[in-house]
Structure 1
Amino acid sequence: MSNLLATGSSALIAFQRALSTVGHNVANINTPGYSRQRVEFEARDATYFGYGYQGNGVQIVDVRRMADSLATSRLLDSGGELARLQQLSTLSSRLDQLFSEKATGISAPWSSFFDSVNALSSNAAGSADRESVLAQANALVTRFRQIDQHLDGLDIEVNAGLTAATDEVNRLAKEIAQLNGQIGGSSSPSGDLLDRRDQLISELVAFTGGNAATQDGGLVNVFSAGGQPLVVGATASTLVTVPDPYRPERLQVALETNGQRVTLDKRALGGQIGGLVEFRTTVLDPAMAELGRIATSLAQTFNEGHRAGMDQYGQMGADFFTLPAPRLSSNANNTGNASLTTSVGSVAGLNAQNVLLRFDGAAWVATHPDTGASIPMTGTGTAADPLVVNGIEVVLASGTPAANDRFLLQPTAGAAGNLGVAITDPGRIAAATPVKATTDLANTGSGKLSGLKVTDAANAALLAPADIEFIDATQYTINGTGPFAYTPGQTIAYNGWSVVLDGAPAAGDTFSVGPTGANSSDNGNAKLLSNLDDARVLNGGTLTLNGAIGGLTTQVGSAARQADYSAQAQQVIHDQAQAARDAVSGVNLDEEAADLMRLQQAYQAASQIIATADTLFQSLLAATRR
């Protein structure tokens, strides 16, 4: 009878605890990272009664945490990659909207500016048309600056994101290390404690990428995507942000461990941090540099054309746009005192990519700052023989470089934000060709002048009057010099201008070229300026300015779409990994309900065993009272 009571009691206690476990599973169905638990039953040791062994009921030997380490590892890997791609996609899409929307992009004010110049070419003397050119130029410059400011704002967001992410990584790593200490000191850690640690590791890897490795004693070590240790046993490393050695306003991520600080390679970062750095490196910086290249090319090309014209005051045109010199930043660890100056040498050779200039002790070397690949460069760095790399001229202005001193050249970065309009007086717009050609009314031949244009606006004698006089039909002189041979249709060039002469001049025929003068309605230079957006001035003379703008919009849009496609594909992979993990560890309400009913019935049956034992005992007591 006592054996029956003990057997029933063991069953009652075991089923009660099993019911509690099922209830714990149901209660945590929405708890992130929770792994369902299952009670393991085992029969108690039997007792030998001479005729054989008789059982003594049941006992619980383990509350098992249902987890698959392989499925958990797959989920960890996919989660870190998904976080990286989602971060990259989100920021890239914002940049794409900036360039593609008419209200925020560069295309609309760009077209309006060149349309106003084209209108001026139809009415060069019109004051309203001149005012319109200046207004549209200022609108274009304002849009360049607005876009550049927005790009700078995204760069600041990346800095803020890195700071916030490193703080969160440090918090998670510290808590994981603490849990490692608790779990490592326990022979049988609770499943809830293990779930909590796995969830924290998943959150940590979502920031840094990487993986986790379990060691003896149940401790888990966590490593970043680049293999740097974030958590080793009960010790957590610390992530910090440090200034870029060339651009202190820009932050990098470094790892502090064992008293040492190591700057993490941007190519070895994953998770949200990796997405932030990758966006800045592969999308934001190229867009900022290309926008600056377009602004620089516009200013250089338009200024050159504007200087070849004459304004309403009879003066040669000056620069229409203002533009700063290309950026050159010295490394914070340089030991020399060299000071370098920069200028744009060639628009056709202008390349937006950054260049690392290093003095090796004897000469300057140019390399790509990310890959270390060599970049062609000519010159020695003197004023007479400047360094020329990617269309930029660099001159050693003062001081002496020390061996291994380094400078970061950013040919076009930030140029769009500093573009300006140099003139405010509409009369200073150089719409006229600075020289004009006239034919003497007394000429008797059929010679006609056409195609007068300026070939060298910097020629000091450009505006000096010149007389072309024909000795006969095949020879001419210019201001008494010559004679020069003549054939119909040939180009005559002098003092920085050229003109085409057709027909058959007679002996004594005279043609004159002289300054256009003030208040001219000539529109020759305005016509040239209005077509500069279609001039092939970039990429060695193969790409127009209009083509560059279209290319920039396509470049940003393509990067955004690619990031979005990759994020969507990774989401599918992550969902599959999550489903595989949930198939083992997830709580299924139908399954738990079935277990609940089964255990409830078993509990009730165990209660009946105790009730039966009690009835037998009461019968025995009643018999002994008689």
Structure 2
Amino acid sequence: MPQARWPRPARNWKLPRVAREASRVESRSSRDRSKSCSEKRWTQRSGRIKPPPRPRDAWSTRWARTMAGIGMTTGLRALLTARFGLDTVGHNISNATTPGYSRQRVALAATHPLMSQGMFVGTGVEALAVHRNVDALLHRRILGQTASVGSLAARWTGMSEMEGLFSEPENGLGGLMDDWYAKVSDLSAGPEDDILRTGLVASGEDLGSRFRQLHGQIGELRDSFASQLEIRIGEVNELARAISNFNREIGKTEVGGATANDLRDGRDEALRRLSELVDVKAIEDAQGVMRVIVSGSLIVDSGKAHEMSLFKGQDGSLALEVDGVTGAVPIKGGQLGGLYELYQEQAPTHLKSLDAIAHELIRGVNRAHAIGVPKSGPFESLTGSNRLKDMDGDGQLTDELLSKAGLPFEISSGTLYVSVTADDGNVTRHALPISATHTTVGGFLQQLDAVPHLSAEVDALGRLRIEAEAGYGFDFSRRLDPHPDDDGTFGGGAASLGSATGPFALSDGDTLSIDVGATNIAVTFAQSDFAAISAATASELADVINNTPGATSAGLVAVVVGDALYLQTAGTGASESLTVQGGSAAAALGLAGQIGTPVSGSNASVAVTVSGGYTGDVNDEWIFRPNGDGVIGTTPGLKVDVFDGSGAKIATLDVGDDYQPGQLLTVGAGVSVSFGTGTLSASHNDAFGLDVIAHPDTTDTLVALGLNSFFVGSDASDIGVREELRDDPDLIAASSTGAIGDAGILLDLLDVQDTAVAALDGDTVQGRYSDLVGSVGFEAGVAITALEANQALLDGLELRREEISGVNVDEEMVRMMQLEQSYTAAVQYIQTLNQLQDDLLNLL
């Protein structure tokens, strides 16, 4: 804003009245004194009274008086200007330590000279105005840099506090995870040890407690950021009102043309303090009104200050609103910007990472633990720890998709294997196909209910509960079926005839004629019985045959091994017989060569016993087939070939005359098998299947439902050890087979420690936590480095401002001495002028 200047005197400037009167008084006084002295000297010398002086020339007297008036005014101006300068110096010294004060200076200029006797005669000095020593561009740079420093300072403070939360003392989260895995390792050496089991549970509780504590501390820290934002916004509003008040006062003060230096300093200081809180842009108009803009929104205009307020959404996010502005205003720069970034980005990001670590730890541990067998053996009943939810609000749970029923872990399409164990040790495994897009809660309950000797329901709390009948137990383990030939299709006592491997190219209306003893059963295959009759499966064929009228009463049974169909008699013994008599389907089934050839049962059946534990990494079904007809342990060269699910031969077992029945033979991948005495027939396609299961649950249904879990919860806020395990550590499912001393599941739990997790970008759980701790520390380090660099830049700008606008007391003292000398000189000048005037008038 242009500085006001005092008006210069007009060219016809006359001596001020006061000066003229002073000049006349001085002149009369001087004349009287001169007259008195002159007359006294004359009388003393001559003894006579001095005669009256002759009359003076009128023009000479007028000229003398005029010149005396000009000189007097020049002296008075010099005197007043020096006094004005001294007052300004005193003001500067008094405010040398006042924050935001700008050094003031008096602008001086020579007054217009007067023309006299053909010459310009100077008339002295005048004070035009008092200016502030300010650099507007530097001031704007300081405002911007102050906002940057304020933001970085707030960010560094917050990140330092967060870094303290992630510090790793002995009870740090990383150390507790290491301790838990150490307890798992200890228990794997003695899985039956009660003390070690109790120690593992206690370590898990400590780990869960630390997760929850850290989650809560980060949440509290985030809430403190929000509280600080509220406080800072209050300060912003207060400063905005102060600036608005300064605008009004400056407008009133400067209406006469003078500059309100001290008010402007106060406004600039308020603006600087405001820039510490938020990035601002200030624009001053021609009337001296300062408009303040934050993120494109006016918070101070010509009339008033607009209040800021903080709005919290339902998701916990914060938004800044300004009175009179529609929509949210971005928060940038200053302490508000730093705190907002901490609240909205840093804290949620690290909290999300911590939750993801806990989530994947729960998933990985429970995925391994869920398929284990506790010390007490298979379960008689089991209740999930996670609740199903009525997502559509219709009051029914059964119509919800299992994968969309509000469970904390995802369910994918695949197969869940359930093993049912009778008191006599016989194990039956059942495969339950799960579709993420089709299987409903009700459908899953029906699948479980369809498993012999099991029932399932959803309790009042929405948890799945599975019950076994008396005399039976169940689990979801990968243990091998010790007696896989339940149907007797491998040298069993029933008459048995196997088909080729499917699928089978049948046509609508194809038939198959079978004699069971003296009873003929005619089977007709209709297109409606198959998904695609031209690619009929063995399971579809078995369903049609078993549902054919008269088949059951005649003792005809159809079973499936692999992809092959087996026709059997219900009874066993040498008296049982079965004959394929023909039919249009016989050729497609690979039975054309068997037409008319009776198949007899046997009084002795081959006992197949499987042992060991499968160590492969894929689920599969192995098919065992003899390569000829003969008696185990008797027929030379008799062998059993083993094929995997793709049809590739993986082993050949010698059961000829060198084989001792009951001798254990190694198949591979941790699996062994033995055969009892009996007859095998490759001609009748004797075979049995063995499910080798690496992953009993490829769907994560057990994890999602919380069945046989170690941890409960879904993230860092609620992770903990399952209550049943806390009450009874024997329920820790350490075994993968149920055998005493087996620690297969514990070894799997140890593998979780080193397992790369896709959801963690291929990192391990502990690796991701280490990255999180490092990330927090790195961000704190970056913040302090940036703060120091920006603070140094701000210090440089402030130093430059101090050089321009600051008060140097030593310099002011020098200036004061100069002005004092000027003042003294002006006084001396006036006194001298008086004397000269007297002398001049006496001469005239």
Alignment correspondent of 1:550: 770
Of 127-136 and 2-11, the range deviating more from structure 2: 2-11
SS of equivalent to 1:539: helix
1:182 partnered with 2:243: no
Alignment correspondent of 2:312: 243
Alignment correspondent of 2:266: 196
1:73 partnered with 2:73: no
Of 568-577 and 170-179, the range deviating more from structure 2: 568-577
1:121 and 1:526 in contact (8 A); partners too: yes
1:33 partnered with 2:100: yes
Alignment correspondent of 2:185: 118
Deviation at 1:262, TM superposition (A): 2.5
Q: TM-score, normalised by structure 2?
A: 0.53
Alignment correspondent of 1:524: 744
Given the superposition, is the C-alpha separation of residues 468 and 474 from structure 1 closer, same or farther in structure 2, using an over 3 Å criterion? closer
Q: TM-score, normalised by structure 1?
A: 0.70
Alignment correspondent of 2:336: 273
Deviation at 1:45, TM superposition (A): 3.8
1:7 partnered with 2:74: yes
2:168 and 2:175 in contact (8 A); partners too: no
Given the superposition, is the C-alpha separation of residues 501 and 271 from structure 1 closer, same or farther in structure 2, using an over 3 Å criterion? closer
Alignment correspondent of 1:134: 201
1:124 and 1:432 in contact (8 A); partners too: no
Of 22-31 and 612-621, the range deviating more from structure 2: 612-621
Select which of 500, 505, 526 maps to 2:669.
500
Q: CA–CA distance in 1 between the matches of 2:830 and 2:436?
A: 100
1:450 and 1:499 in contact (8 A); partners too: no
Select which of 83, 86, 108 maps to 2:153.
86
SS of equivalent to 1:39: strand
Q: CA–CA distance in 1 between the matches of 2:381 and 2:366?
A: 7
| 1:225-246 CA distance string (max 9 Å, x none) | x222121223211100112143
| 1:90-147 CA distance string (max 9 Å, x none) | 1112212322332574211111111111111112111221111111111111111111
Residue correspondences, number: 504
Q: CA–CA distance in 2 between the matches of 1:590 and 1:321?
A: 83
Given the superposition, is the C-alpha separation of residues 486 and 65 from structure 1 closer, same or farther in structure 2, using an over 3 Å criterion? closer
Q: CA–CA distance in 2 between the matches of 1:469 and 1:595?
A: 115
1:605 partnered with 2:825: yes
1:96 partnered with 2:262: no
Alignment correspondent of 1:312: 375
Deviation at 1:298, TM superposition (A): 0.8
Alignment correspondent of 1:418: none
Select which of 203, 206, 214 maps to 2:284.
214
2:616 and 2:669 in contact (8 A); partners too: no
1:162 and 1:253 in contact (8 A); partners too: no
Deviation at 1:505, TM superposition (A): 6.5
Q: CA–CA distance in 1 between the matches of 2:761 and 2:269?
A: 57
Of 104-113 and 173-182, the range deviating more from structure 2: 104-113
Q: CA–CA distance in 1 between the matches of 2:652 and 2:319?
A: 68
Unaligned segments of structure 1, at least 5 residues: 329-338, 348-379, 387-430, 440-446, 460-465, 478-482, 490-497
Amino acid at match of 1:79: T
Q: CA–CA distance in 2 between the matches of 1:599 and 1:385?
A: 97
Amino acid at match of 2:291: N
Amino acid at match of 1:452: Y
1:288 partnered with 2:351: yes
Q: CA–CA distance in 2 between the matches of 1:325 and 1:617?
A: 114
Identity of aligned residues (%): 25
Q: CA–CA distance in 1 between the matches of 2:154 and 2:826?
A: 57
**Greater C-alpha Rg:** 2
Alignment correspondent of 1:423: none
Alignment correspondent of 1:230: 299
Deviation at 1:434, TM superposition (A): 7.4
Q: CA–CA distance in 2 between the matches of 1:119 and 1:582?
A: 69
Given the superposition, is the C-alpha separation of residues 541 and 31 from structure 1 closer, same or farther in structure 2, using an over 3 Å criterion? closer
Given the superposition, is the C-alpha separation of residues 117 and 340 from structure 1 closer, same or farther in structure 2, using an over 3 Å criterion? closer
Amino acid at match of 1:473: K
SS of equivalent to 2:310: strand
Of 64-73 and 89-98, the range deviating more from structure 2: 89-98
Deviation at 1:152, TM superposition (A): 0.8
Select which of 275, 297, 303 maps to 2:366.
303
SS of equivalent to 1:262: coil
SS of equivalent to 1:300: helix
Deviation at 1:33, TM superposition (A): 1.5
Alignment correspondent of 1:205: 275
Select which of 410, 415, 437 maps to 1:345.
410
Given the superposition, is the C-alpha separation of residues 321 and 103 from structure 1 closer, same or farther in structure 2, using an over 3 Å criterion? farther
2:131 and 2:259 in contact (8 A); partners too: no
Deviation at 1:316, TM superposition (A): 5.2
Q: CA–CA distance in 2 between the matches of 1:288 and 1:172?
A: 34
1:586 partnered with 2:655: no
Deviation at 1:181, TM superposition (A): 2.0
SS of equivalent to 1:216: coil
1:38 and 1:66 in contact (8 A); partners too: yes
1:39 and 1:64 in contact (8 A); partners too: yes
1:14 and 1:58 in contact (8 A); partners too: yes
Q: CA–CA distance in 2 between the matches of 1:319 and 1:613?
A: 119
Amino acid at match of 1:281: Q
Deviation at 1:604, TM superposition (A): 2.2
Alignment correspondent of 1:563: 783
| 1:10-42 CA distance string (max 9 Å, x none) | 222211221121122122222221111111122
| 1:450-476 CA distance string (max 9 Å, x none) | 54369899x9xxxxxx99998653247
1:474 partnered with 2:640: yes
Given the superposition, is the C-alpha separation of residues 92 and 541 from structure 1 closer, same or farther in structure 2, using an over 3 Å criterion? closer
Given the superposition, is the C-alpha separation of residues 73 and 286 from structure 1 closer, same or farther in structure 2, using an over 3 Å criterion? same
